[in-house]
Chain A
Amino acid sequence: MTNKNETYRTRVSLLHRITQQRDEKSWDDFVLYYRDFIYLICIKMNMSHHEADEVVQQVLIKLWNHFPNFEYDESKRFRSWLCRIIQNTCRDFFRKIKSQNKLKDKVQENGFKKLSLSEIDTIADNEWNDYLSSLALEKIRDQFSEKIINIFIRLANGESPQDLEKEYELKPKVIYVYSKRVRDRLKDELRRLREELE
């Protein structure tokens, strides 16, 4: 996985590539990196998994059709453009559901929060870093044993090595060493991802 990525790391960022070249590969990469991020924002807007799943697809379809119109500038502006598309899609989506429910004479509550564009922007900004880090973690996962990754995630969730000591039968010192190994590798991967996406 990594090796493959190294090869198309070549200079130009992903957004630049997708607007300029518009080849299959750039689009595949784009979906790989952004699909889960769109999903994450939907979930943060209090949608259920199925609703979010549906919205993600509609957003991607819109992006696929609108990309020729998008002028590449820099990532910050792209993200707010993305947010606007997400907002519109959500609005349409829930409007449609509402009218369907009315037809069937059903009143169904959903937890979806209507948010202003700036609110969505804030969510996107807040989640972006955690999202990228998690994406990076996903990419380096193969390079470590499952146990080490689990230990690292639990540490990141705020547990202390002393808590884990008994469960894994490892000394805290060893847990620190494991964690540091993952951290260092993760930071490298994150730097690479940022170069490509920002």
Chain B
Amino acid sequence: MSDSPERKYIRVIPNLSKFLECDDLEHDFPLSNEMNSDKRYFEGEEIGRGGMKKILLTNDKLTSRNVALATLIRTEDPNQTENFFREAKLTARLQHPCIVPVYDAGYTKEQQPFFTMKPVDGENLQDYIKTLKSDADKNFQERVDIFSKICDAMAYAHAQNIIHLDLKPENIYLGEFGEVLVGDWGLAKRLHKESHEMDIPDLEIQNDKTLHGVIKGTPGYMAPEQINKGLGESDHFCDIYALGGILYELLCSETPNQGKDLEDVLRNTLDGVQKKPSKINPNVPVSLESIAMKSLAVRKEDRYNSVKEIIEDIKKFQGGFITSAEQSSFLKSLCYLFKRHKLVSVLIGLLVISSIVFIIQVYQEKLQVSREKQRAESQKVIAIEQKEKAEKAFQLFKTAQNERNTISKKASPRLLSVGLKDLTGFNFDSARENIQLAVLWSPENRDAQISRACFLLITQKFTQAVQVFDSLENRDRHLQKIYDLAKKYASIKVNDEIFLDTNTMKEFLKDCKKIYYLPISSQNTIRLMLHIVNYAYLQDFYTTEDKIELANFAMTNTNPLGSKWELKWRTNNSKFDIDLSNNKSIFSVKALHSLPIRKLNLANSSIKNIEGLFGSSVSELDIRNCRINGIDLKALKNLKTLKLNKTQSPMLRLRGVEIIRQ
């Protein structure tokens, strides 16, 4: 009784049906339910901090995406709150793929001002420039691509009359997939130029405040007029100056305006003291250097007029044309023409020179060398061919061997199932052969071994059966019981060549019935009994009386308990005439299968199924008033005479069968 209840019986889960019935809204519509949650943003880790705000990386509950949440550090000053929202609204206005998008803004439940943006957690342009320093990469294409995207963003912003005023590599973010995002629009302001756009009136007021006295921006990238108000107002030229600074740094990895201290830096900016990038990095293309230097001019008039002009020049550089920032000359133009059509020019040159050299050399050498080479080649080819042949043959041999092995492994279960099918049809000789073959093909096939042992048990070869069982390990309870049974009868009858006498045989059948102690598996028990008894019928060892006694016993045990009945029988030339008529508690006649029956009378009995008689020797059958399916009659191969009552119809044509109606 080692079986645990869990293994044997289904574990019933209490209240499972109730759980299934009550439709839980939360369960069935999780998303709709979630949209009702009242807290939208959760606290996240801090990823950045500015003068007045800090940035947290958090998750937006409603859209299920990560967002960067900006909140004010101190909320006491209403001016700061105003500035904070000003930045949010202004950035939100700018909808361009290269500008950090603002998603949402407002007060949280705790009255904390906030706005959310796309999280920019990759590197920024400053990090990127640092990697360039260590990597002396001559390819300027990627840098120019990044720069032109920044220019696109600024051109768009300027078209919206918004200027950034704090452009620097730190404020430009790079994504993994080529994204370039301009952010930190904290100092940005709207220009007055076309003030008929009045949709954000507060911005106008705020603009004055940013201008008020103090210097705002980052030294080194600030334009001269941002330092010295006397040089003019801050406008889009400041951004153009800063763009020049960014390009300068991209080219040579150094800031354009350098100095010992802050004052020095500011003075150098005002004086326009800058090294040329090519002095720091000799690989810098002249045209790019010209674009940077033109943007960095101290006087506004000397700079580009708009960001669009910078973009045009960058495009010219990319296409290999002369840029507007360079002094053009014929030689330079020719140079660019050569660069643009590098491939063609080089090809023409090469063609002319090489063809002359080739024609001379090839003719001289080829003649001598080719003959020797050919000979060597042909020998090499033969050697390779032979090696390949040998390898192929070896491969073929190996696969054939493997195939044989797998076939025998695969064949074993098939043979076994054929053998078991034979057994079901009481075809013992064929079953023995197939089961033995299954064991032979694959001795490690456990099922085949078990079947072989059972077959030996059925044929009363107990000693051999015990030997097979001994070799099987890990016997479960049923197998153990069969094993015990075999052992018991091996001790009673040692010689496998003789048979049990009728009384011991009955004991044996009874013991078989006890093996499976559940009646379901009673089907298995019955099967085992049927096999044993049908095998016994075929043995000459048993007399006619013995066989009838066994048949009687087996019939009683394979049919439900009911009124006691006797098998009525007569012999006729060593064949049986059996009468089961008027029996109402018989359902199976399988126990009679292998008996040499001539006449079988089932009239008025409860039998509905004679499938079990498939291939039996019955030649005369009486099924008056029985509910037997006509198709089953096909099972009786030796049937010659069939008795029916006046209304019964066999439902199918039986060839060679005489039908008698009574």
Contact = CB atoms under 8 A, between A and B. Distances in A.
Interface in B356-414: none
Contact of B10 (A135, A179, A190): A135
Interface string B7-38: 01111111111011000001110110010000
B518 A179 contact: no
A61 B522 CA distance: 9
Contact of B12 (A65, A131, A155, A187): A131
Contacts of B608: 21-22
A52 B346 CA distance: 96
B330 interface: no
Contacts of A133: 13, 16-17, 20
Contact of B523 (A27, A135, A158, A173): A27
Contacts of B544: none
A83 interface: no
A186 B21 CA distance: 11
A130 B34 contact: no
Contact of B522 (A36, A50, A64, A68): A64
Interface residues of B, number: 33
A57 B517 contact: yes
Given A60-B518, A187-B20, A190-B20, A36 B13 contact: no
Given A36-B10, A49-B5, A134-B13, A179 B517 contact: no
A171 to B, nearest CB: 10
A131 B13 CA distance: 8
Interface in B514-552: 517-520, 522-523
A60 B12 contact: no
A64 B20 contact: no
A23 B629 CA distance: 14
Contacts of B10: 36, 131, 134-135, 138
Interface string A21-57: 1111001100100011001100000000110010001
A60 B343 CA distance: 93
Contacts of B19: 155-156
Given A27-B523, A50-B1, A176 B26 contact: yes
A179 B27 contact: yes
Contacts of A176: 26-27, 30
A156 B15 contact: yes
A127 interface: yes
Instruction: State the main secondary structure of chain A at its contact with B.
Output: helix
A67 B562 CA distance: 12
Contacts of B13: 130, 133-134, 137, 153, 156-157
Contacts, number: 89
Contacts of B518: 31, 57, 60
Contacts of A67: 560
Given A53-B8, A176-B30, A129 B520 contact: no
Q: Chain A CB within 10 Å — which of B16, B31, B560, B608 has the most? A: B16
Contacts of A28: 520, 523
A183 B8 contact: no
A77 interface: no
B517 A156 contact: no
B469 to A, nearest CB: 25
A180 interface: yes
A173 B20 CA distance: 19
A28 B14 CA distance: 26
A15 interface: no
A27 B587 CA distance: 13
B585 interface: yes
Interface string B597-635: 000000000001100000000000000000000000000
B561 interface: yes
Interface residues of A, number: 46
Given A60-B520, A64-B522, A138-B10, A130 B15 contact: yes
A65 B26 contact: no
A1 interface: no
A45 to B, nearest CB: 14
A131 B14 CA distance: 8
Interface string B27-55: 11011001000000000000000000000
B12 A130 contact: yes
A50 B517 CA distance: 14
Contacts of A127: 12
A64 B8 contact: no
Interface in A75-96: none
B30 A177 contact: yes
A134 B11 contact: yes
A179 B561 CA distance: 49
A129 B523 contact: no
A36 B13 CA distance: 13
Contacts of B560: 64-65, 67-68
A148 B560 CA distance: 45
Interface string A174-198: 0011011001001100100000000
Given A130-B16, A130-B17, A180 B519 contact: no
A14 interface: no
A3 B462 CA distance: 40
Given A133-B20, A173-B30, A27 B520 contact: yes
A133 B14 CA distance: 10
A132 interface: yes
Contacts of B34: 173
A133 B13 CA distance: 8
A28 B17 CA distance: 26
Given A57-B519, A156-B13, A65 B20 contact: no
A36 B26 contact: no
B523 to A, nearest CB: 5
A61 B5 contact: no
B555 to A, nearest CB: 16
A35 B12 CA distance: 13
A190 to B, nearest CB: 7
Contacts of A129: 17
Interface string B113-141: 00000000000000000000000000000
Contact of A31 (B5, B30, B520, B609): B520
A180 B23 CA distance: 10
- Which 4 pairs, one residue from A and one from B, show the smallest C-beta to C-beta distance? A129-B17, A31-B520, A133-B16, A176-B30
12 contacts: A27-B523, A28-B520, A60-B520, A67-B560, A130-B13, A130-B14, A134-B16, A138-B10, A156-B15, A172-B30, A183-B27, A186-B20
Given A53-B1, A65-B561, A133-B20, 16 more contacts: A31-B519, A35-B9, A40-B9, A67-B560, A68-B585, A129-B17, A130-B16, A133-B17, A134-B12, A134-B16, A135-B10, A153-B13, A156-B13, A157-B13, A173-B34, A179-B27
